[in-house]
Structure 1
Amino acid sequence: MDKTIRVVAALIRDDAGRVLLVRKRGTAAFMQPGGKRDGGEDDVTALARELDEELGCRLIPGSARPLGQFDAVAANEPGWRVEAAVYAIDVDGPIAPKAEIDEMLWIDPAAPPDIHLAPLTRDHVVPLATGAGRAVGGQ
């Protein structure tokens, strides 16, 4: 059995260069907004839907820039891995936790606070956001 969860994830920055992280209800790890694709969805369509459902904001059309495919231990599913297509995107509208999102915060990727980060976020996305990671291809 393939124990890989395939998702799309968004790297969203504010005007100060901070990165948006979310924490899902009943979990401890902060991670990028995003989620699983529904049947027939491409990555950008899935991201747009997830952002609307989770945060109430809108992905600005044409703003999605692929950063790569990355693999990490799943934060909330013991024994599983997550494979994420990560995109830098721009959003419009107010951002607030909805649906399964309990908390959101903006972090300085060069000096992340002492919080529990999902392995994908810690090992791949934060380094990308600081310019220390590999931008395309990942892994």
Structure 2
Amino acid sequence: MKNVLKVSAVCVYDLSGRLLTVRKQGTTKFMHPGGKPERGETAAEAGVRELSEEVGLHLAAVDLELIGVWTGTAANEANTDIEATVFTAPGRWDADAVIPAAEIAELRWMHLEAAADFDDLAPLLTEYVLPRLHKA
């Protein structure tokens, strides 16, 4: 039986409309900034906390817009699925103001139409979120 981790993730866009993806230290897949909720946190509260910790963006939980909730294969943990609650951050951000911190090893901004050019994106992103974003 697979383990299931609950996570929150946030889609962040820069001024030219590129989506922010991050790669955590010791991993090979790029994904949204985000992570596991702490005890008593809502999914949105976890999302804004993780954005602050991982890339230095400070938002209010009420400002996030829910995109969807999906269960898929975890990118970096064996025998594990993730139940991901995915949001969009409001507005557009200056890419230079977004700085990798905490466990983030690398940032990459990506045009949505170029996603197929990358073979190192997390399954949640390629199987669930990007198809939804392309419809929007």
Q: Which category of TM-score, normalised to the shorter sequence, fits these structures?
A: 0.7 to 0.9
Q: Given residue 38 of structure 1, which amino acid in structure 2 is its aligned partner?
A: E
- The residue aligned with 1:107 is 110
Q: How many residues align?
A: 132
- The residue aligned with 1:13 is 13
Kindly indicate whether the alpha-carbon contact (under 8 Å) linking 1:60 and 1:89 is maintained by their aligned counterparts in 2: no
Shift of 1:61: 5.6
Q: Given residue 36 of structure 1, which amino acid in structure 2 is its aligned partner?
A: K
- Per mean C-alpha deviation after superposition, the further-off stretch among 109-118 and 56-65 is 56-65
Matches within 5 A, 1:49-128: 49-60=49-60, 62-90=62-90, 94-112=97-115, 113-128=117-132
What does the per-residue CA deviation read over 1:107-134, in whole Å, with 9 as the maximum and x for residues that have no partner? Answer: 01112232401100111112222227xx
| Structure 1 unaligned blocks of 5 or more | 133-139
Kindly indicate whether the alpha-carbon contact (under 8 Å) linking 2:64 and 2:87 is maintained by their aligned counterparts in 1: yes
* Structure with the largest fraction of helix: 2
TM-score (norm 2): 0.88
Work out the percentage of aligned pairs sharing the same amino acid. Answer: 38
What does the per-residue CA deviation read over 1:70-99, in whole Å, with 9 as the maximum and x for residues that have no partner? Answer: 111110111110110011113768211001
What does the per-residue CA deviation read over 1:35-94, in whole Å, with 9 as the maximum and x for residues that have no partner? Answer: 000000012211111111111111256421111111111101111101100111137682
TM-score (norm 1): 0.86
- 1:124 & 1:110 partners in 2: Cα distance? 15
Kindly indicate whether the alpha-carbon contact (under 8 Å) linking 1:11 and 1:125 is maintained by their aligned counterparts in 2: no
